[in-house]
Chains A and B, each alone.
Chain A
């Protein structure tokens, strides 16, 4: 016992020194690998709500092409927005990248993003996938669509998002939690085109039809739909979650249905980026955004997460193309942010957890 104590004490000091060195070694290692160094070259600082795996390859490609280095900091969108707001004029962040138009709209409304006038960006990104004042631009699209178990549901019985609230889906519908911004934006999109009382009726129908308690993520939801023993037969997910599962197992028994083709179209959302208000490298940041919206980068950025490129002249990956063509919603995405609060309130009143 005495020997163990002595060993622990003797080991602690060199261990501490080793870990301190390790931290320094790590930072330089990380810098070499991902371009996180600020010696000589222009360095752009990026706050990203996307995990590093989904953005680092793009940053590396740009560094290789132009020599511009990046400092990447990832966190939840709300945390990053709060930090940006707190930093104010002393902020050294140049770019803010996040998912969902609701998050982008909120950041813009808080005054965190600067308007960017760019002919290239306006040409590459359709108007309904960017802010009307040029504060943010969508760089990749994801559809939040209906999925179903082929062995439990006939494709012909599926039609619209609203139809999922009807009694024929009682005990068969499974959904992700209403707290996730993706579902809030979906309901916000419905509020943009339909009367609030009707939307509330639909959402109440969803809540009543739930076969199980809500899922915390789309992956678990898809696995439940695929499970033959599960009562879940139909659900609503982002397409890239299905893509990830199909990539692992090509025989994954869940199919996509594109709803509302004859009316409002499939709900789509974006991963988007904007230049921060107090950026010291606005020109370099705009150049990066223009490159990201171009044909060279769009494929890479969208393919990382099996999304659709926002630039319509760039085609999606083979796997994504297999899902077929669809009519997307024409609702300007900045409306999704404006209606988020109303959507949250409506979902709470409809008891959709």
Chain B
């Protein structure tokens, strides 16, 4: 009996083309209208300011990526390799920064390290004559790197759990006198390179578009210059043009995907018995201090300090309303991203879509949220005018959902692409031989294999949307204020007391969704 495989002839992926068009068209639209305006602002900033901003941006991308990779990999390695008391708590702590917006993190770091902050006040009370201004480029890299370290942690932990430990034991047998570090360098890190590259992709692009933390810490990056061009010089077209130019310099270097295929002979291996020892004790100290000093303590102190500044009764009704709105928005966006992302990735997996087409679909993730949000708004208004429609709350909601979905669907899709790269190429052929049709393949192989990634990707998208400020501010319907925009508005005006409750609510909500992540799917 001859088995026939229901494989379509190689054809173009029109679905991916459609998605890429919807995502990138607003950018092309505003770019077309903006490029001629760029010269009007170039003379306002001296040349050395541009050079410094470019260097700082590059430094921020590299520095934050290095810090995120180092801390994320170290955390993943220690938590994967060794057994700790309260293991679940440590694993949860490693992803806490996902729940906190970067600018809130920077504010928390400043409240901790500021001259009027807890650390310096304590040292002065202890008798030290110290007055140190912590606002620096290094602190910016540290803050952004630590706030993005969970991405590296998640990618690396998943990759480590897929590594075949027998492979490492075999290598040790062959070279018994090889030092631990050589074994690590020669073997483990080579296998971890693809997920490391993927995590660096996320971190670098996120730090490229970082605005809040840069403003709080007073560092002039390209993004702050672009933002200043728009808000200070009222030149939105120039801001768009500058954004495109800087994106082409930095962003497209990272559009070359880092998802290289893993070696075919890797297999899952769960190491249930984990050793303890000197390294474990040292690692415990590292983990404990790291999480305490960089994550939990500054955040707790900032919220406590803000509560102390609260005067008058809190508006609980408004808070609950914002809580519900923020959660509802985040959940709906995650569902949309999961649904359309699944269709897209399955199609790309099936049809072997060209890399350039896939990456164009992720363009929105690379763009700063503020620029993309206003680009969408301009296209939206032009569209309303074209069809003779009036603005309404429903349309505003729909356009907000579209913008957030276009911006963040890369978060779940990229992680699924990464999972699919682990699959041997023969798996699809074998599965199709058995199931004979694509719907069966989708249900029995694709969906089952990628389900944990979709779920954890959706949780990540929820966390991103909860924290997101620029697009939510620009496109939100009348009268609707999310928790993150409320915190941003109030802290920008110095109303730290009033911002304390929304900030606490935002962080608690983020913790709740982090906890909902299944440990296996979170780690993978």
Q: Which residue from B46, B234, B331 sits with its C-beta under 8 Å from A106?
A: B234
Contact A248 B309 (CB under 8 A): yes
Interface of A, secondary structure class, is helix
Is the beta-carbon distance between B390 and A19 smaller than 8 angstroms?
A: no
* Residue interface bits B20-61, CB-to-A below 8 A is 1, else 0: 000000000000000000000001111001000000000000
In the complex, how many residues of chain B place their beta carbon closer than 8 angstroms to a beta carbon of chain A?
68
- What residues of B have a CB within 8 angstroms of the CB of A15 in the complex? 327, 331
B8 at the interface (CB under 8 A from A): no
Max chain B C-beta neighbours (<10 A), residue from A20, A88, A179, A230:
A179
* A120 beta carbon closer than 8 Å to chain B: no
Q: Is the CB of A30 within 8 A of B321?
A: yes
Question: In the bound complex, do residue B331 and residue A19 qualify as a contact, i.e. CB atoms below 8 Å apart?
Answer: yes
- Say what secondary structure dominates the interface of chain B: helix
Q: Which 5 A-B pairs have the closest CB atoms?
A: A22-B324, A19-B328, A26-B321, A219-B494, A78-B231
Q: Give 1 or 0 for each of B363-384: 1 = CB within 8 Å of chain A CB.
A: 0000000000010011001101
Closest to A50 in B: B493
B133 at the interface (CB under 8 A from A): yes
Q: Are A218 and B46 in contact (CB-based, < 8 A)?
A: no
A286 within 8 A of partner (CB):
no
Query: Are A87 and B518 in contact, CB atoms less than 8 angstroms apart?
Result: no
- CB interface residues, B 282-312, toward A, < 8 Å: 309, 311
Give the residues in chain A near B233, CB-CB below 8 Å. Answer: 340-341, 344
Q: Is the CB of A51 within 8 A of B220?
A: no
A313 within 8 A of B: no
Instruction: Decide: B234 and A110 in contact? CB cutoff 8 A.
Output: yes
Chain B, residues 109-148, CB within 8 Å of chain A (1/0): the string is 0000011100010001000011101010000000000000
Kindly state whether residue A1 has any CB partner on chain B within 8 Å: yes
Which residue of B44, B480, B489 is within 8 Å of A345 (Cβ)? B44
Inter-chain contact A29/B321, CB cutoff 8 Å = yes
Q: Pick from B181-189, B407-415, B471-479 the stretch touching chain A.
A: B471-479
Q: Closest residue to B324 on the A side, CB-wise? A: A22
Q: Is the CB of B495 within 8 A of A341?
A: no
Q: Could you tell me which residues of chain A, from 297 to 351, have a CB within 8 Å of some CB in chain B?
A: 340-341, 344-345, 348-349
Residues of chain B having any CB pair with chain A under 8 Å: 43-46, 49, 114-116, 120, 124, 129-131, 133, 135, 215-216, 218, 220, 224, 228, 230-234, 236, 309, 311, 317-318, 320-322, 324-325, 327-328, 331-332, 335, 374, 377-378, 381-382, 384-385, 390-391, 393, 473-474, 478-481, 489-490, 492-495, 498, 516, 518-520
A20 / chain B contacts, CB cutoff of 8 Å: 328
- A78 contacts which of B46, B234, B495 (Cβ < 8 Å)? B234
- A23, CB-defined interface residue at 8 Å: yes
A30 pairs with B231, CB closer than 8 A: no
Interface string of A203-231 (1 = CB under 8 A from B): 00000000011111111100110010111
Interface residues of A in 175-197 (CB under 8 A from B): 177, 179, 181, 184
Task: Find the B residue at minimum CB distance from A9.
Answer: B455
Contact of A179 among B114, B232, B478, B519 (CB under 8 A): B232
How near does chain B come to A255, taking the closest CB pair, in angstroms? 19
Q: Chain B residues near A22: list those with CB within 8 A.
A: 320-321, 324-325, 328
Q: Could you say which of A69-77, A129-137, A270-278 contacts chain B? A: A69-77
Q: Which residue of A lies closest to B124 (CB)?
A: A229
**Distance between Cα atoms of A130 and B165 in the complex (Å):** 75
Interface residue from A1, A86, A214 paired with B381 (Cβ < 8 Å): A86
Is the Cβ of B478 less than 8 Å from the Cβ of A349? no
Taking a contact as CB atoms under 8 Å apart, the answer to whether A79 and B46 are in contact is: no
Kindly state whether residue A284 has any CB partner on chain B within 8 Å: no
A213→B321 contact, CB < 8 A? no
Q: How far is the CB of A308 from chain B (nearest CB, A)?
A: 19
